[in-house]
Amino acid sequence: MQQNDPFHWAVGIENTFIPHTRPGLRALDEYELTQHYELWREDLDRVADLGISHIRWGVPWYRVNPRPDHFEWGWIDELLDYLVIKKGLQPILDLMHYGTPLWLENSFLNAGYPQRVAEYANAFAQRYSELVYLYTPLNEPTVNAENCGRHGLWPPYLHGEDGYVKLLLALVRGLIQTARAVRDAQNAATFVQVEALGWVWSEDDSLHKYVERHLAHTFLAFDLASGRVDTAHLLWPYLREHGMTELELAWFQDHAFQMDDPLGPRDVLGVNLYPWSGGELRRDESGNVRRHGELNGFHIGAVLRHAWQRYGLPMMVTETSARRDVAGRALWMDETIAAVRSARREGIPVTGYTWFPALTMIDWAYRTGTEPLEHYLLHLGLWDSVFDQDGILQRHPTALVERYKNYISKTQIVRSRR
């Protein structure tokens, strides 16, 4: 993906994998719950008919690597051949979209996690280098660290800021080693480094430092991965307070993932944004700072501008959609695409746009809930899914299918002036 390439239209298939169970916590494998393991051909046929060029799709690491040093690639072989050769789509391949194999004790805190995830990534890249060249080493490290380390919802079930920092450091260490392992096997690989990038603001001048810190936390994982964190970084005191040592700081600076290329940036920063990804900061009656409201689709323009000023890297919108009815989703689509168009007019190299997910997914609340599966159908996509009388999760097109097709066919995006 170079900045002068054609604009890349994409969709994604939700691929969160948290296979671990414990009392009160159910396994969350989106492919299993949405029946993608059985209906994958039909799903890929549907999205290919949109006219897209790319699809975000992820490998269930825990299934292909069911025990140490053993890989089972059969289903991946079949699917990628169909996806790339038969349908002509290029996957943006999620190597890690949450979750680890069941045998990896303590999950991301296992001392061998960085090595194990790198071994898996290297094996994948060696096997599929003829079919895949776009990789996401680790999807949304910040969200991963929050659910695993701050809120205790996912393994290894830590809580609080100390837990968050421990998980974040382990995840980013694994991200760095994953990227290197892929490049060792496939030097021409391109990385789409995906992060959930929220946006906040305040009309209260006294809260500007809160806005600054919030945005710094949003970018912290990528700052660590790219060696931008040093003792002058705004969040170094926070990191040190919650357990990061100067020795660890030196490791991240020495092993930083470099996205620079002598011929120009080939790697891309992936931007994920939803209506719930931000809001206005205000003080409540007790003086506490709270976030109010949601984002509109035009706010993605502010995120793209801020990320461009911070990193100067090409970007792709890698996830966006809205938890709304079809009309509300259509408005979000129109606003976000208009914002991307505006950013490109300003010379910001936004290389693509992804509606994510394309199909109804299962709300993550299923993991902690007790209601039947149909209670957790989350309609964010172009197709809304409903169980039929035989228990098959049927995908039904909404008006958004034709709307997205129309954007793609007319290529209603201006070329970046850069």
For the chain, how many structural domains are there in total? 1
**CA-based Rg of the chain, rounded to a whole angstrom?**
21
**Distance linking the first and last C-alpha atoms of the chain:** 15
Q: Are 137 and 179 in contact (CB under 8 A)?
A: yes
Residue 78 falls within a domain, yes or no? yes
In the chain, pLDDT over 70 holds for what percent of residues? 95
Task: Tell me which residue range forms the domain holding 154.
Answer: 8-410
Given this model, what pLDDT does residue 259 score?
65
Residue 2 falls within a domain, yes or no? no
Residue 18 falls within a domain, yes or no? yes
47 pLDDT above the threshold of 50: yes
156 pLDDT above the threshold of 80: yes
3 pLDDT above the threshold of 90: no
What whole-number distance in Å separates Cα of residue 158 and Cα of residue 146? Answer: 9
Tokens describing residue 292: 């109010």
Residue bearing tokens 């259509």: 330
Residue 417 falls within a domain, yes or no? no
DSSP string, 248-315: HHHHHHHTPPP---TTS---EEEEE--GGGEEEEEE-TTS-EEEES---TTHHHHHHHHHHHHH---E
Among the residue ranges 4-8, 85-89, 187-191, the one predicted with the least confidence is: 4-8
CATH number, domain with residue 221: 3.20.20.80
- Under the banding of pLDDT at 50, 70 and 90, the label for residue 287 is confident
Given this model, what pLDDT does residue 308 score?
97
Given this model, what pLDDT does residue 5 score?
58
Residue 110 falls within a domain, yes or no? yes
What whole-number distance in Å separates Cα of residue 106 and Cα of residue 100? Answer: 9
Per residue in 333-364, pLDDT tens?
Answer: 999 999 999 999 999 999 999 999 999 999 99
Other beta carbons within 10 Å of 412: 13
- 281 Cα distance to chain centroid: 25
Per residue in 194-253, pLDDT tens?
Answer: 999 999 999 999 999 999 999 999 999 999 999 999 999 999 999 999 999 999 999 999
What whole-number distance in Å separates Cα of residue 396 and Cα of residue 411? Answer: 25
Q: Is the peptide bond before 357 cis (omega within 30 degrees of 0)?
A: yes
80 pLDDT above the threshold of 90: yes
Rounded to two decimals, the pTM is 0.94
Tokens describing residue 204: 């209260």
Residue 3 falls within a domain, yes or no? no
In the chain, pLDDT over 90 holds for what percent of residues? 93
| Residue count (the chain) | 418
Q: Are 272 and 204 in contact (CB under 8 A)?
A: no
What whole-number distance in Å separates Cα of residue 9 and Cα of residue 355? Answer: 9
Phi, psi of 89 (to 5 degrees): -100, 145
Q: Are 296 and 275 in contact (CB under 8 A)?
A: yes
- From 151, 182, 178, 181, select the one nearest 167 (Cα to Cα): 151
Given this model, what pLDDT does residue 121 score?
98
Tokens describing residue 10: 């994409």
Residue 106 falls within a domain, yes or no? yes
- Under the banding of pLDDT at 50, 70 and 90, the label for residue 266 is confident
Mean pLDDT of the chain: 94
**What's the whole-number mean pLDDT along residues 141-160?**
97
Phi, psi of 199 (to 5 degrees): -145, 130
**What's the whole-number mean pLDDT along residues 139-160?**
97
Given this model, what pLDDT does residue 415 score?
43
371 pLDDT above the threshold of 60: yes
What is the DSSP secondary structure assignment for residue 131, as one 8-state letter? T
Give the E-state strand segments of 74-184 in sequence order.
90-94, 134-136
- Under the banding of pLDDT at 50, 70 and 90, the label for residue 263 is very low
What whole-number distance in Å separates Cα of residue 253 and Cα of residue 5? Answer: 32
Given this model, what pLDDT does residue 1 score?
40
Which H/E stretch holds residue 115?
helix 113-128
Given this model, what pLDDT does residue 413 score?
52
Residue 164 falls within a domain, yes or no? yes
Given this model, what pLDDT does residue 40 score?
98
77 pLDDT above the threshold of 80: yes
